[in-house]
Amino acid sequence: MSEVEDLLHQLLMKMTEVASTLEDISGKLDNINGVYGIDDLISKLSEVTDDIVGSTRYNLTDIHGELTSITSELSGINTTLMLQD
């Protein structure tokens, strides 16, 4: 019986730790919500996703677009070459 009681006590301690962590997270989210409105967060996230820049300051969005264009052109050349054979 003492073993079960000890396990229940340990479980209660862990649940108390989880509750404390969740309260901390809730407080931090309240702070974020108070400082930044949802519209502000969406706006900032949109700005970040619109213009992704690598460490060398090259715009990765532009590079992706160019690579897609090159891939399309190569595909067209391959098709032309196969049709000529």
DSSP per residue, 2-53 = HHHHHHHHHHHHHHHHHHHHHHHHHHHHHHHHHHS-HHHHHHHHHHHHH--B
Is the whole model's pTM more than 0.85, yes or no?
no
Instruction: Round to whole Å and give the CA distance between 1 and 6.
Output: 9
Of 36 and 19, more confident: 19
Calpha distance 19→31 (Å, rounded): 18
pLDDT at 4: 80
The domain segmentation of the chain, as residue ranges, is 1-50, 51-85
* Tens of pLDDT, residues 27-75: 777 766 566 667 777 777 777 665 566 566 666 667 777 788 888 888 8
Tell me the β-bridge partners of 59. Answer: 53
